[in-house]
A and B are shown apart, each in its own frame.
Chain A
Amino acid sequence: MQKISENKIGAGSNPVIVFFKNNMGILIALLALCAVLSIATDSFLTANNLLTVLRQICINAFLAIGMTFVLIIGGIDLTVGSVVGASGVAVVMLMESGVAIAPAIIVALLFGAAIGLINGTIIAFTGMPPFIVTLSLMGSLRGLCYLITDGRSVASKNEIFTVIGNGYLFGIPIPIYILVVTAVIMSILLYKTKFGRRMYAVGGNENAARFAGIKIKGLTVRVYMISGILSALAGVVLASRMYSGQPTAGNGYEADAIAAAVLGGTSFNGGIGTIGGTIIGALVIGILSNGLNLLHISSYVQMIIKGLVIILAVGFDILKNRKMARQ
């Protein structure tokens, strides 16, 4: 406990070191998981399998990054899975009706933004709880998917479109490139702009944020729009991967997105969360599913195991923090 002179400031704030320190627990879990699967199966540690896992993870990672944003400001977005379905259907239907590929994708992304705008506006201006607002719209949006498709999937005949989800560039699946670019952009937004800083303020103490002159309503709306756009992006990639827009696509994906964010250290109470942590969280969930598949464990048992793993991981984290607070 002493006064610190200026030159000491900044020591120990190397972002790489900080990242490893903050995510130590989940990183160890990830490495342990990979180690066990490498030994237990012949096929896990092959380039082919690892690339497949990474491609599968992308969809959840898009949603989880958006979810992290929303959780940081103390909200929650349960519409993400429904936006995946609706935007996938939208992009395919637009192309089938003759719209070119690029405008179709842009319209789908704008659709996601519009859903975020609706979520955010209702939450910011009425004070309704985010859980209720997004839960309700999740249902409505899913209904809309069924309504416009009449409950049937819409096949895409556009071959260029299907490359997005299925193609490779330099031997690496294209969705991975999209994810990397997205993660970089979102990281810059979160760590290098006023907007990002203020998100932490709003989630950390809304009252203090108001006294600090932060426009909370506008910020809230924008954060939900980001989540909406990322969900639509996931929807487009998924539709491409499945060669079709399916009204059931993305059903229940909000749960995996929340799980990835929380595994990655995002606080449910707002104010805390990182993109890096969330991506690691998505990796853990994806690799776990893949490993259980390789081990021929039935999907029913997989659901049980995934649930328990999340409880254990988050519980471990909370216990660790509590212990630190006592000492």
Chain B
Amino acid sequence: MENEYYLEMSGISKTFPGAKVLDSIEFNVKAGEVRALMGENGAGKSTLIKILGGIYDMDHGQGTIRINGQEARIDTVQDAQRYGIGIIHQEISLADNMTIADNLFMGKEIKGGTLLNDREMIRRSQAILEEMGLDVDARTRVRDLSIAKQQMVEISRALLSNAKIIVMDEPTSSLTKTEIDQLFLQIKNLKKSGIAIIYISHRMDEIFEIADSISILRDGKMIGTDTVENLTQDKVISMMVGRELSEIFKRDGKIEVGEVCLEVKHYSNKKINDINFSLRKGEIVGFAGLVGAGRTELARAIFGIDKVDSGELYISGERVNIQNAQDAIRHGIGYVPEDRKTEGLFLMHTIKYNTSIVVLEKFIKNVGVDKKYENRLAGKYADALSIKMTSPEQKVQFLSGGNQQKVVLGKWMAADPDIFILDEPTRGVDVGAKAEIYQLIYGLAKQGKAVMLISSEMEEIINLSDRIVVMHEGSVTGILDNNETSRAKQEEIMWFASGGKENAKN
């Protein structure tokens, strides 16, 4: 009898100490199908995938995994590869010091006699690259490739090991629009050759463009699976969040904008060019622009991480000289960096440790720790930010992305700066946590904090900001008013973001 589904996961449960993260999940995918797997962070997507990939064990004696009708026992990563499961993780896992061919054949090198047969490996690599529509030499070093091409190399590697099921975890998070198109073209080709694709993403538009069907997880339970034709974005969101979400950007009450508290004049360095703007108390200013427009570089310069060649900075009217992060913090600036894992968090340490690291002087006086204060601090921000955790002693690496981001926010809220620089505060964060983070940002503004909000999500910029600064290639190309009654147009922002005008109109 022919099986309808190529992959059948049935009754899959997973219990971590103190929490059931997957509850008898049914998940079936056909050959040649692109299945989107959606859900908030912490819903259990990555746990499910890690069970499929042999990284986690499922709870014993509960579920089964069948592949092409045969029961599969997947205990190790090698087992998963043997069953034709290829997982492409969000972070690129290639050795970037080696060539494409080296990477493709890593661990399964071809030998001619006792020595490596490089010629054959290069020939086969080249063939598969051509198949993928990649116009590069297989002898190119991976570090010389764009992120999109590196991702293609990862897919090629999965294909080379005869993967019949390919899982892609947020494959587009660091790709440009054209690169995404390129990737989608390849996904369609893979589909044609009968490969089952499980596609994990938070980007609704992409899902509806590329997927055949969508499965939605919430709190470790499978909420439902349907074809994209039968679903709408709103429906998917409400299934993910478990409530209607028409008002995620809703502000309660009006926020008073006060006097100027930060003024940047003629800021320039290698990456940014003559930047002028100001922030007022209680004001949220959005920074829009394409990737590489210099927004993060501007933030780093203001925060003293990168050197400034010329220009002046005024805080509450007073000229200040910020040389390093300590200076910035002393002058009341807090920076939530773009990449929370490498720049914002101490993953191996506890939530308590992370929220208190900037304000140690408040509870460690020379020698001796005021434990009560420390615990109160951690408790205060865990509660205020509703961080989902087992205890403040939990290590941050075991939190979901949204909760990790809240820990970074909590760290800076504890430091209580007057000026918050938020760099992509909702990247990789699910809809529910996004709504919570938006409310936190409003809350900061309401307290009279000035917020510099860098975001690549147009919706976020337009709905949150009081004003919008648009940057292009290191310069400010436009500053737009954006109050609740007259919102800036997306086209207008795009016009400035692509360098539409040479001079900033202040």
Chain A residues proximal to chain B, CB less than 8 Å? 1-6, 8-13, 188, 191-194, 197-198, 200-201, 204-205, 207-215, 271-272, 326-327
Q: Hey, which chain A residues are within 8 Å of B368, CB to CB? A: 192
Instruction: Tell me the complex Cα distance, A100–B344, Å.
Output: 52
Q: Which of B325, B388, B393 contacts A212 (CB 8 A)?
A: B325
Q: How large is the interface on B (under 10, 10 to 19, 20 to 34, 35 or more residues)?
A: 35 or more
The answer to whether A204 and B346 touch across the interface, beta carbons within 8 angstroms, is: yes
When distances are taken between beta carbons in the complex, the residues of chain A under 8 Å from B375 are 6, 9-10
Partner of B305, one of A4, A12, A200, A210: A210
Within the complex, the shortest CB–CB distance from A216 to chain B, in Å, comes to 10
B242 to chain A, nearest CB (A): 15
Contact A271 B326 (CB under 8 A): no
Closest-CB distance, A172 to chain B (whole angstroms) = 27
B328 partner residues in chain A, CB cutoff 8 A: 213
Please state if A210 and B325 are interface contacts (CB–CB under 8 Å): yes
Bound-state CA distance A188–B368 (Å) is 8
Complex contact B390–A1 (CB within 8 A): yes
Bound complex: CA A210 to CA B304 (Å)? 10
The 8 A CB mask of B301-321 against A (1 = contact, 0 = none) is: 001010000000000000000
Collect the chain A residues with CB atoms within 8 Å of residue B56's CB: 326-327
Which residue of A has the minimal Cβ distance to B387?
A3
Contact A207 B343 (CB under 8 A): yes
Contact B388 A1, beta carbon cutoff 8 Å: yes
Stretch of B152-160, B186-194, B221-229, B355-363 at the chain-chain interface: B355-363
Chain A residues closer than 8 Å to B348, beta-carbon distance: 204, 271-272
- A13 B393 Cβ-Cβ under 8 A: yes
Instruction: Find chain B residues with CB under 8 A from A188 CB.
Output: 367
CA distance A4 to B393 in the complex (A): 11
**Distance of A213 Cα from B357 Cα, bound (Å):** 9
Let me know if B371 is at the binding interface, CB within 8 A: yes
Is the pair A3, B358 in contact by a Cβ cutoff of 8 Å? Answer: no
- CB pair A9 B392 closer than 8 Å: yes
Q: How far in angstroms is the closest Cβ of chain A from B249?
A: 25
* CB-CB under 8 A for A1 and B393, given A192-B367, A210-B305, A271-B346: no
Does chain A have a CB within 8 A of B2? no
B364 in contact (CB, < 8 A): yes
Indicate if B1 sits at the interface (CB-CB under 8 A).
Answer: no
Q: Is the CB of A6 within 8 A of B369?
A: no
Contacting residues, chain B, for A210 (C-beta < 8 A): 305, 325
Give B348-380 as 1s and 0s: 1 = Cβ < 8 Å from A's Cβ atoms.
110011000110110010111101000110111
- Residues of B at under 8 Å CB distance from A? 16, 18-19, 55-57, 303, 305, 324-326, 328-329, 335, 337, 342-349, 352-353, 357-358, 360-361, 364, 366-369, 371, 375-376, 378-380, 382-383, 386-393, 411
**A213→B358 contact, CB < 8 A:** yes
Ordered by A's residue number, 14 sampled pairs between the chains whose C-beta atoms are within 8 Å are A4-B389, A6-B376, A6-B379, A9-B392, A12-B391, A191-B369, A193-B364, A193-B366, A197-B364, A201-B346, A211-B337, A213-B358, A215-B326, A327-B57
**B379:A194 contact, CB within 8 angstroms:** no
- A324 and chain B: residue at smallest CB distance: B17
Chain A residues with CB under 8 A of B393: 12-13
User: Min CB distance, A42 to chain B, in Å?
Assistant: 46
- A205 and B360 within 8 A (CB): no
| Chain A residues whose C-beta falls within 8 Å of the C-beta of B335 in the assembled complex | 211
Q: Known interface pairs A9-B392, A205-B345. Does A198 touch B57 (Cβ–Cβ under 8 Å)? A: no
Q: Is the CB of B358 within 8 A of A204?
A: no
**Which residues on A sit within 8 Å (CB–CB) of B343?**
205, 207-208, 211
- CB-based contact A207/B342 at 8 Å: yes
A263 to B305, CA, bound (A): 37
Contact present for A211 and B305 (CB under 8 Å): yes
- Chain A residues near B347: list those with CB within 8 A: 204-205
Kindly provide the distance from the CB of B454 to the nearest chain A CB, expressed in whole angstroms: 15
Are B371 and A194 touching (Cβ within 8 A)? no
Known: A3-B383, A192-B369, A205-B343. 16 other contacts (CB 8 A): A4-B389, A6-B376, A9-B378, A9-B391, A191-B369, A193-B367, A198-B357, A201-B349, A201-B357, A205-B346, A207-B342, A207-B343, A209-B346, A212-B357, A213-B329, A215-B324
Whether B391 lies near A198 (C-beta < 8 A) is: no
> Which one of A2, A211, A214 has the greatest number of beta carbons of chain B within 10 Å?
A211
Q: Separation in Å of the B299 CB from the closest CB of chain A?
A: 11
Q: Given contacts A9-B375, A204-B347, A326-B56, is CB(A4)–CB(B392) below 8 Å?
A: yes
Chain A: CB-nearest residue to B346: A204
Minimal beta-carbon separation of B168 from chain A (angstroms)? 23
A208 close to B342 (CB less than 8 A)? yes
Asked if A205 and B342 make an inter-chain contact with CB atoms under 8 angstroms apart, the answer reads: yes
Q: Which residue of A lies closest to B300 (CB)?
A: A211
Are B325 and A5 in contact (CB-based, < 8 A)? Answer: no
**Complex interface: chain B residues within 8 A of A6 (CB):** 375-376, 379-380, 383
For the complex of A and B, 8 pairs with smallest distance between CB atoms: A6-B379, A204-B346, A213-B329, A213-B325, A194-B360, A9-B375, A213-B326, A1-B19
On chain A, the residues within 8 Å of B344 by CB distance are 208, 211
Q: State how many angstroms separate the Cβ of A10 from the closest Cβ of chain B.
A: 5
B residues within 8 A CB of A12?
A: 391, 393
Would you give the shortest CB distance from A9 to chain B, in whole angstroms?
A: 4
- What CA separation (Å) do A200 and B348 show in the bound complex? 10
The residue on B at minimum CB distance from A204 is B346
- Interface centre among A3, A9, A198, by most B CB within 10 Å? A9
Contact (A3, B386) CB under 8 Å given A200-B346, A208-B346: yes
Residues of B within 8 A of A200 (CB): 346, 349, 353
Q: Complex: how many Å from CA A327 to CA B60?
A: 11
Which of A1, A194, A208, A326 has a CB less than 8 Å from the CB of B57? A326
Given A8-B391, A191-B369, A193-B367, A208–B345 Cβ distance below 8 Å? yes
For B357, list chain A residues within 8 Å (CB): 197-198, 201, 212, 214
Known contacts A197-B360, A208-B346, A5 near B57 by CB under 8 Å: no
Cα distance A2–B361 in the bound complex, in angstroms: 30
Q: List residues of chain A with CB within 8 A of the CB of B369.
A: 191-192
> In chain A, what residue has the closest Cβ to B340?
A208
User: Which of chain A's residues has its CB closest to B356's CB?
Assistant: A197
Task: Tell me the complex Cα distance, A194–B383, Å.
Answer: 25
Residue of B nearest to A188 (CB): B367
Cα(A2)–Cα(B380), bound, Å: 15
Q: Which of A6, A209, A213, A326 has the most CB of B within 10 A?
A: A213
> Which of B360, B380, B389 has the most CB atoms of chain A within a 10 A radius of its CB?
B360
User: With A and B bound together, what is the CA distance between A197 and B360 in angstroms?
Assistant: 8
Looking at the assembled complex, report how far the CB atom of B63 sits from the nearest CB atom of chain A, in whole angstroms. Answer: 16
Contact A1 B342 (CB under 8 A): no
List the A side residues contacting B345 at CB < 8 Å.
Answer: 205, 208
A212 and B349 CA atoms in complex are apart in Å by: 15
Residues of A within 8 A of B346 (CB): 200-201, 204-205, 208-209, 271
What's the Cα separation between A287 and B67 when bound, in Å?
Answer: 55
**Roughly how many angstroms separate A209 CA and B352 CA in the complex, as a whole number?**
15
A10 close to B371 (CB less than 8 A): yes
Whether A326 pairs with B342 at a CB distance below 8 angstroms is no
Asked if B361 and A194 sit within 8 Å, CB to CB, the answer is: yes
On whether the beta carbons of B353 and A4 are closer than 8 Å, the reply is: no
B389 pairs with A1, CB closer than 8 A: yes
In the bound assembly, the distance between CA atoms of A289 and B326 in angstroms comes to: 48
Residues in chain B near residue A198, CB distance under 8 A = 357, 360
Q: How far is the CA of A296 from the CA of B36 in the complex (A)?
A: 68
Q: Which residues of A contact B361 (CB under 8 A)?
A: 194
Please report the C-alpha to C-alpha distance between residue A212 and residue B326 in the assembled complex, in whole angstroms: 8
Bound complex: CA of A12 vs CA of B371, how far in Å?
Answer: 14
